[in-house]
């Protein structure tokens, strides 16, 4: 599993924008920026939709006031689902990124197999990234939701 102080691995994440599909190289997307990246097991799932993403939507301005340049959400879903979920959650300040084949999640060592629920998905986590280097990594224990919530990350900045 990736650790604090390590650079993010090279990977591609997708985003569906009003102009079409955009493939972002992670190393380029996060270069020269302070980023809060949080991951959820699945878009439109209960904790993700009722608490995790909404917390970042509500606290986006406060996170940016602490010097965060970009807030991004990633999930092992496709870009169409991530765009629809972001719109349904009024997440205009959050970059909704898709890791459709879980390659980024696997490169981080943060995948989990949910078997018949949805196969390989991401563990729930949040990280602070500064110029491509992980400076904070909070991975949730199974069935927990505290370490990766927006309030916890805001308090750590």
Annotated active-site positions, please?
48
Burial level of 113, CB count in 10 A (0-12/13-18/19+)? exposed
d(C-alpha 3, C-alpha 137), whole Å: 7
Give me the phi and psi of 141, to 5 degrees please. -70, 155
What secondary structure letter does DSSP report for 83? H
The radius of gyration of the chain's CA atoms, rounded to the nearest angstrom, is 14
> How far from 19 is each of 22, 81, 88, 121, CA to CA, in Å?
8, 16, 19, 28
Separation between Cα atoms, residue 42 and residue 40, nearest integer Å:
5
């Amino acid at each position: 599993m990736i650790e604090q102080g390590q650079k993010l691995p090279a990977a591609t994440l997708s985003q569906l924008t009003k102009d079409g599909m955009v493939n972002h190289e992670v190393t380029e997307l996060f270069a020269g920026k302070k980023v809060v990246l949080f991951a959820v097991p699945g878009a439109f799932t209960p904790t993700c939709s009722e608490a995790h993403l909404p917390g970042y939507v509500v606290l986006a301005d406060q996170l940016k006031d602490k010097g965060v340049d970009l807030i991004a959400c990633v999930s092992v879903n496709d870009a169409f689902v991530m765009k629809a979920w972001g719109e349904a959650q009024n997440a205009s300040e959050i970059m909704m990124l898709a890791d459709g084949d879980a390659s980024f999640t696997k490169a981080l060592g943060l995948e989990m197999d949910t078997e018949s629920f949805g196969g390989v998905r991401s563990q729930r986590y949040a990280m602070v990234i500064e110029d491509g280097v992980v400076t904070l990594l909070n991975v949730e224990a199974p069935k927990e939701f505290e370490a990766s919530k927006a309030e916890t990350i805001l308090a750590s900045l």
